[in-house]
């Protein structure tokens, strides 16, 4: 007998949580911190952070005390809230009908969102969320040069750049294929002054079809396509 794990964009509601029958696990985790203006959940697990936290706690039993309560010290609450705020209106979903590694599932869900999973220096689980624009006020850490032994700069790989994309979504487990797709979006649709010839990448190499295993909602797939293309149509300067 196969156990099916499903989180549905149509509204998979979890109302059997021991903490508060009106909220999800994530609500209980956030409320326990006594933070002001926290984003309450509505009992529907659809944001990437909500799905990941529920998989961690429900399926993998991560962060649970012996009495079944949540150990809040193992979660970076502020980073979870930031991820939730960045995905307002997102409706992700999945149906997994085979035994898979939980870490792999979590990483793949995060790869189809604006957030990446990390453990911070306190060994707390949380997210790094990519914003569409940054200002000086977003800087939250300064590194003193005297603590830097060596560093180097490099650019991201040219083959990782593409200037148009199409997303395949709403995966059908029975037929093992994707039944929906987004229209092709070009970088010039997002940035009218974008020069497609700048990187000397031809039309075929500059296009990518992206399979979204954890998307079934059209507007969410379109939002991810836009976010992804904005970050992939140019190279990036990296420091190590």
What pLDDT, in 10s, does the model give residues 190-235?
999 999 899 999 989 999 999 999 999 999 999 999 999 999 999 9
Q: What is the gyration radius of the CA atoms in the chain, in angstroms?
A: 20
- pTM for the full model? 0.83
- The one-character DSSP state at 200 is T
- Say how far apart CA 141 and CA 52 lie, in whole Å: 26
Close Cβ partners of 179 (under 8 Å, ≥ 6 residues apart): 170, 171, 172
- The one-character DSSP state at 191 is -
pLDDT 10s digits, 49-92? 989 998 898 889 998 888 888 888 999 998 998 999 999 999 99
- Quickly state the pLDDT bin for 32 (edges 50, 70, 90): low
For 65, the 3-state DSSP assignment is: coil
- Quickly state the pLDDT bin for 26 (edges 50, 70, 90): low
Residue 27: the pLDDT is: 58
For 30, the 3-state DSSP assignment is: helix
For 178, the 3-state DSSP assignment is: strand
- Say how far apart CA 38 and CA 85 lie, in whole Å: 10
- Quickly state the pLDDT bin for 20 (edges 50, 70, 90): very low
**How many CA atoms does the CB half-sphere of 212 hold within 13 Å?**
30
Residue 15: the pLDDT is: 33
Q: Is the pLDDT of residue 25 over 80?
A: no
């Amino acid at each position: 007998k196969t156990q099916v794990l499903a989180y549905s964009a149509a509204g998979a509601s979890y109302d059997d949580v021991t903490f508060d029958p009106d909220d999800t696990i994530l609500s209980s985790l956030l409320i326990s911190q006594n933070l002001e203006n926290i984003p309450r959940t509505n009992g529907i697990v659809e944001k990437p952070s909500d799905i990941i936290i529920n998989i961690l706690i429900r399926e993998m039993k991560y962060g649970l005390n012996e009495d079944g309560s949540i150990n809040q010290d193992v979660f970076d609450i502020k980073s979870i809230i930031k991820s939730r705020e960045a995905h307002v209106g997102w409706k992700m979903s999945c149906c997994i009908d085979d035994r898979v590694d939980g870490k792999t599932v979590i990483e793949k869900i995060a790869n189809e969102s604006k957030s990446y999973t990390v453990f911070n220096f306190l060994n707390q689980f949380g997210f790094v969320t990519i914003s569409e624009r940054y200002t000086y006020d977003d800087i939250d850490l300064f590194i003193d040069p005297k603590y830097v032994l060596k560093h180097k700069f490099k650019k991201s790989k040219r083959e990782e750049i593409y200037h148009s994309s199409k997303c395949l979504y709403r995966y059908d487990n029975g037929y093992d294929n994707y039944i929906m797709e987004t229209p092709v979006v070009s970088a010039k649709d997002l940035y009218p002054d974008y020069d497609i010839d700048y990187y000397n990448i031809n039309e075929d190499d500059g296009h990518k079809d992206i399979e979204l295993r954890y998307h079934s909602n059209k507007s969410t797939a379109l939002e991810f396509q836009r976010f992804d293309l904005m970050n992939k149509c140019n190279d990036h300067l990296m420091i190590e």
